[in-house]
Amino acid sequence: MASTYSQADRRSARRARTIEDALDAAEAIMREQGVGGLSMSEVARRLGMRQPSLYKYFSSLHALFDALFARGLARTDAAVTAAIRRRPPGVPRLRAGARALMRWAVENPALAQLLYWRPVPGFEPSAETFAASRDQMATVRTELAAAAGSGQLRAAAATDEALLLYTVVISGVISQQLANEPGASFAAGRFSRLTDEALDMYFARYAPAGGTDADPRP
């Protein structure tokens, strides 16, 4: 039975790889032609496959978008997680996470638009995909609470207002950069270069009265 098992294994591995290839192609298409330019036909074309065959992997165009949304979430999660690893809780993690997120968005504009704007009429991420999105928000909330609890920030940082303003600042930088200078790198972009200053502005609002050195910039 060993050979049967390994054959099935190879089969599913091959299938998984085809799916990844399809998502790669889809990302490229969105990068080149905008999110609205994505189509099953074009993805199939780039895979050297007939369009109906692609339906064996994605049951509809919406399903393809959902897979891309999920991929975007996983990628941002990985980028943020890697960036905050071994950093102390609170402000340092919030700062590093925000920077990582902005860099990722500038370098992956296609997926970023899918995550941060609403470019596809009628498309909403599925329930489970959306749940993952909520988890990310919960992480931010936790770090804000840690910052408030440890005195790095005022108690007001552990509120909904602070959480929402955090997302406002991040999405503001990302939106302006992607809309006005789509091609620029994170280092060169007129808006993405202001990432640290934007975060300074945000954290200053919740800085403790005393003015400690709780928020050292790297």
Interface residues with DNA (CB under 7 A) are: 11, 15, 18, 38-42, 48-53, 55-57, 59-62
* Residue 11's binding partner out of DNA, a copy of itself, none, with CB under 5 to 8 Å set by partner kind: DNA
What is the CB neighbour count within 10 angstroms for residue 192?
Answer: 24
Query: At 64, which amino acid appears?
Result: L
Give the 3-state secondary structure percentages of the chain, helix then strand then coil, rounded to 5: 70, 0, 30
In 3D space, the residue among 48, 173, 179 whose CA is nearest the CA of residue 98 turns out to be 173
Q: Which of 37, 41, 56, 82 binds a copy of itself (CB under 8 A)?
A: 37
CA 186, CA 199: separation in Å to the nearest integer? 15
Secondary structure class of 106 (helix, strand, coil) = helix
Strands (E), the chain: none
Give residue 77's Cα distance to chain centre: 7
* Residue 167's binding partner out of DNA, a copy of itself, none, with CB under 5 to 8 Å set by partner kind: a copy of itself
CB of 57 to DNA, least distance (A): 7
Binding to a copy of itself, residues 155-184 (CB under 8 A):
161, 164-165, 167-173, 175-176, 178-179, 182
* Residue 118's binding partner out of DNA, a copy of itself, none, with CB under 5 to 8 Å set by partner kind: a copy of itself
* Choice between 41 and 212, CB closer to DNA: 41
Tell whether residue 200 is a contact of a copy of itself (CB under 8 A).
yes
* Residue 171's binding partner out of a copy of itself, DNA, none, with CB under 5 to 8 Å set by partner kind: a copy of itself
* Total H helices, total E strands in the chain: 9, 0
CA 109, CA 34: separation in Å to the nearest integer? 9
Q: What x/- string results for residues 115 through 134 when contact with a copy of itself is judged by CB under 8 A?
A: -xxxxxxx------------
Secondary structure class of 32 (helix, strand, coil) = helix
The footprint of a copy of itself (CB under 8 A) covers 33-37, 113, 116-122, 161, 164-165, 167-173, 175-176, 178-179, 182, 190-191, 194, 197-198, 200-202, 204-205
